[in-house]
Amino acid sequence: MTVYGADAETAVKLAVEEMTRLELLLSNYNADSEISKINRNAGGTAVGISLETEQVLEKALRYAELTNGAFDPTIGPIVELWGIGKKNNFVPDESQIKAALSLVDYRRVELDKVKHNVRLPLKGMSLDVGGIAKGFILDRMTEILKQKGITSALINGGGDIRTIGKKHDGSPWRIGLQNPRKTDAIAAKISMMKWNAVDTSGDYQRFFERDGMRYHHIFDPATGKPTQTLTSASLIYSEGVVDLLPSNVLLVIGKEKSLRLLAKFSELEAIFVDVKGAISFTPGLNGNIEVDR
């Protein structure tokens, strides 16, 4: 996090406190989080949730509907089954995948916005909102920094970026997009002239390789397996955009379907890196992107 402004120290401290607070609500890695509680109660009673968790779940279910389930916040059983990074290169068999997939269906989530609670009706169902919680948290941190008078900042959440204003020398923030297959190379550089958010999903962040196949942490809810379409996809946009998508859904549906979907989201720009390393982007980025060809 790079922050400029009067009393930047206080602003950073408050933003980090907010990050910690929200992560305690939303993380799958924390057994005491609200998400973990909901998952533990699957098949049982509804769990009361905070306003923030409700907002994230509402957003998640909206994305699921918009993408016909290509994004599915109930992907938890598949994430658990594969355990990428935790299970020593484990590849489940088809019957195990089928069993886990039978528990993946966002339409079964019972979110009660009046009583502010949520219930997963089947034992074994579980939520994983990691794909969007990060952006949600970064947005809140950005808000806090702004409220505290910060006029220039960059927050790097590892894949997702938020910026405030321009750099202290007046030039726009520039974001480098790592080459998915050559970690010491940059695939593209984006000048944040018109935008202040970049969300990136890639198959290079958490993965293992076995028998020449790359198994990574972004799953297709239709197959229960890691996606095979793109190595990286980024969405570039400005805060306050009404209609948004999670970037990992672009890896699920691939470039062509993504472009058709993005046609409905005029304020979203996108960059794709395919499995052969070819880089392409939406026309709105012209003039503000340099691509390493």
What CA–CA distance (Å, rounded) separates 261 from 268? Answer: 11
Residue 44 found at the interface with another protein (CB under 8 A): no
What CA–CA distance (Å, rounded) separates 127 from 60? Answer: 10
Single out the segment in contact with another protein by CB under 8 A; choices: 9-17, 70-78, 258-266, 281-289. 9-17
Q: Would you say 6 or 278 has its CB closer to another protein? A: 6
Residues 6+ apart with CB under 8 A from 4: 150, 151, 152, 153, 168
What CA–CA distance (Å, rounded) separates 26 from 55? Answer: 11
Single out the segment in contact with another protein by CB under 8 A; choices: 94-102, 112-120, 156-164, 258-266. 156-164
Footprint of another protein on residues 54-93 (CB under 8 A)?
A: 85-86
Q: Would you say 155 or 252 has its CB closer to another protein? A: 155
What CA–CA distance (Å, rounded) separates 257 from 276? Answer: 18
At its nearest, how many Å lie between another protein and the CB of residue 215?
A: 12
What CA–CA distance (Å, rounded) separates 111 from 108? Answer: 9
Q: Would you say 207 or 265 has its CB closer to another protein? A: 207
| Angular region, 159: left φ>0, alpha ψ -120 to 50, beta rest | left
Residue 145 found at the interface with another protein (CB under 8 A): no
Binding site for another protein (CB under 8 A): 1-4, 7-9, 12, 16, 19-20, 23, 27, 29, 85-86, 133-134, 137, 154-161, 167, 173-178, 183-186, 189, 198, 200, 206-208, 234
